Chains A and B, each alone.
Chain A
């Protein structure tokens, strides 16, 4: 019974979803099929085409042989009958691409873990301990979310230099949390608010400390929120560019986005096949993660906006 309750609490959307399911039909029966084709399917199809074409083009370019890439008159540019893995092989074995992938993964995982730990503590303190000045602190954290990296990177580069972190992975692991903590704290505050007070009061009466309450009651109930925060932070880390470009100078520590732009492009001879393969493989971990957790991702994105 407790299990059922916990599940219900941790998935409020599902509970709400059932009660409103009757409306799914809506008023669409009022529209005729031809009308729907013109007003709905055609525009939707066009927008989807524009949104997805670059990915098709990336994928196609990364498997096309070189001579077909540059000769667009003899071969139709939209398809290839002789796909090759040459570009991918070249990328994986002739360049430091695996190292860059590993760097990106390491930085993203460490920065995300640090940020989630800090945000869980901060969000719990703001929402549930309600210490003096909690509301103001919450507001300040929201303001921190609005400070963009592109006005911070110049002073931050001197700070990173002062602390002796320049050109080490720690420069990124320690600076990324400034982007991630405000966002994930804000998101987790929203989740913690949905957990009933009564559960905590029971635990307090039974003699649990605040730390035990957080670890044994609040966190297990906030798992969907934690997953959302984790995925979103991980994506932001993977996407980060300006800090990685500024704070890292040696090729061996670069992350994928920076390395592709700076190290893979040599002079004027663009290796388009390998570049596109690199871009595609670099996006793959995120797309796979996203495919498994679409709902969490969407709730993270919209939750942060709604709160």
Chain B
């Protein structure tokens, strides 16, 4: 009798509560709750809300009503919007290409056998550590129309007669903010590519040298192919963050002079928060999404290619 009772207890069905606490799927669910709560409440929901806002005439502090594609039609005829699209593409294109070229070059230099290598590598990354806004203020001062040290130096070297109006002239302003962006982005590209370079086996280079390969051939046929997957990922991130940049522009020019440096992000801030046209601002933000999807696709294929090169189960 007692034996039977004990046996029954041992093989008793787990209660619902026990199931919820030990079942793999339920446990996984519980563990995901905090992260999912944040990402749904503050990321997925606003993302959807943004698309909805872009088809309403919402203002700051007032709910909007559905107006169809009116905001987009308005933007289609708005030269300022198209100027901001042009600026964004110019900014992203030029800055990304130069960041990649200089970053790769710097990574190759740092991969050489150098004295104080660790310290140099640590120092290189400092522009990336310092908050963007704070270094943008330093650039604002460096590009001051009257007291710029760059103008001063060039004047004393006899190269120019007048101070350069860095942030006051449309094209000068564009190049100045692009320069500041490159300055901040190069360390990131260089250090991540350096990590990739360090995984390339030196024996490959030795074999190539014995076979009589020139330095260019060594780069082209060993370094570059082995680095392609990491280049794809790094450049995707770089393009993504340059495309959606806000801080640098906002601090240095606020989109001026005469909208010459407005990016889509700064224009949407100006329209939505400063002027209060939430719907219009949301439409500009939403217009950025197709470009971002393009970047994500590139990243995806970059990752696929890495798996193909190194074996799919290489985690």
Chain A residues with CB under 8 Å of chain B are 23-28, 30, 36, 40, 43-44, 47-48, 50-52, 54-55, 57-58, 61, 69-70, 72, 77-78, 114-115, 117-119, 121-122, 124-126, 129-132, 134, 137, 141, 143-144, 146-159, 174-175, 177-178, 181-182, 185, 193, 209-210, 235, 238-239, 241-242, 245-246, 256-258, 260-261, 272, 275-276, 278-280, 282-283, 286-287, 290-291, 294, 297-298, 301-302, 305-306
* A22 vs chain B, min Cβ distance (A): 9
5 A-B pairs with least C-beta separation: A131-B28, A125-B31, A257-B133, A302-B195, A122-B35
Query: Closest CB of chain B to A245's CB: distance in Å?
Result: 8
> Which of A48, A185, A286 is in CB contact (< 8 Å) with B129?
A286
B108 CB, nearest partner CB in chain A, Å: 10
Nearest Cβ distance between residue A159 and chain B, in whole angstroms? 5
Asked if B65 is at the interface (CB within 8 A of a chain A CB), the reply is no
Q: A52-B123, A147-B47, A151-B288 are in contact. List 16 more A-B contacts (CB 8 A).
A: A23-B202, A40-B112, A48-B124, A54-B138, A55-B126, A57-B138, A57-B141, A58-B138, A155-B47, A178-B39, A193-B315, A241-B131, A279-B135, A290-B126, A297-B125, A306-B230
Are the C-beta atoms of A57 and B233 separated by less than 8 Å?
A: no
* CA–CA, A147 and B293, complex, Å: 10
Q: How far is the CB of A40 from chain B (nearest CB, A)?
A: 6
Query: Given the complex, which residues of A lie within 8 Å of B260, measured CB to CB?
Result: none
User: B23-52 interface mask toward A, CB cutoff 8 Å, 1 = contact, 0 = none?
Assistant: 011011101111110110111111101100
Name 9 interchain pairs, CB-CB below 8 A, sorted by A.
A27-B206, A47-B109, A118-B38, A144-B39, A150-B268, A154-B285, A257-B132, A272-B141, A279-B134
Q: Is the CB of A261 within 8 A of B138?
A: no
Question: Most chain-A CB neighbours within 10 Å: which of B118, B149, B206, B268?
Answer: B149
By a CB distance below 8 angstroms, the chain A residues around B286 are 151
Residues of A within 8 A of B188 (CB): 301
Residue pairs across A and B with CB atoms within 8 Å: the count is 282
Query: How far, in angstroms, from A36 to B109 measured CA to CA in the complex?
Result: 10
Residues of B within 8 A of A258 (CB): 133
Q: Nearest residue in B to A23 (C-beta to C-beta)?
A: B202
CB distance from A216 to the nearest CB of B (A): 16
Asked whether, in the complex, the Cβ of B282 is within 8 Å of the Cβ of A154, the reply is: yes
Q: How large is the interface on B (under 10, 10 to 19, 20 to 34, 35 or more residues)?
A: 35 or more
Complex interface: chain B residues within 8 A of A134 (CB): 28
Known contacts A125-B32, A131-B29; is A155 also within 8 Å of B137 by CB?
Answer: no
Q: Are B191 and A301 in contact (CB under 8 A)?
A: yes
Contact with A along B253-272 (1 / 0, CB 8 A): 00000000000010011001
Do A155 and B282 touch across chains, with their CB atoms under 8 A apart? yes
What is the minimal beta-carbon distance from B135 to any residue of chain A, in angstroms? Answer: 6
Query: Which residues from chain A contact B191 at a C-beta distance below 8 Å?
Result: 298, 301-302
CA A285 to CA B53, docked complex, whole Å? 39
Once A30-B209, A305-B234 are accepted as A-B contacts, the answer to whether A283 and B273 lie under 8 Å apart by CB is: no
* Residues of B264-298 whose CB lies within 8 A of A: 265, 268-269, 272-273, 278, 281-282, 285-286, 288-289, 292, 295-296
Confirm or deny: B175 has a beta carbon within 8 angstroms of a beta carbon on chain A: no
Whether A155 contacts B50 by the Cβ 8 Å rule is yes
Q: Is there an interface contact between B34 and A118, defined as CB atoms closer than 8 Å?
A: yes
Are A54 and B244 in touch, CB under 8 angstroms?
A: no
Contact in complex: A55, B138 (CB < 8 Å): yes
Q: Which residues of A contact B110 (CB under 8 A)?
A: 44
Other-chain residue from A28, A137, A298 in contact with B112 (beta carbon distance below 8 A): A28
Partner of B113, one of A26, A246, A294, A298: A26
Whose C-beta in chain B lies nearest to the C-beta of A185?
A: B35
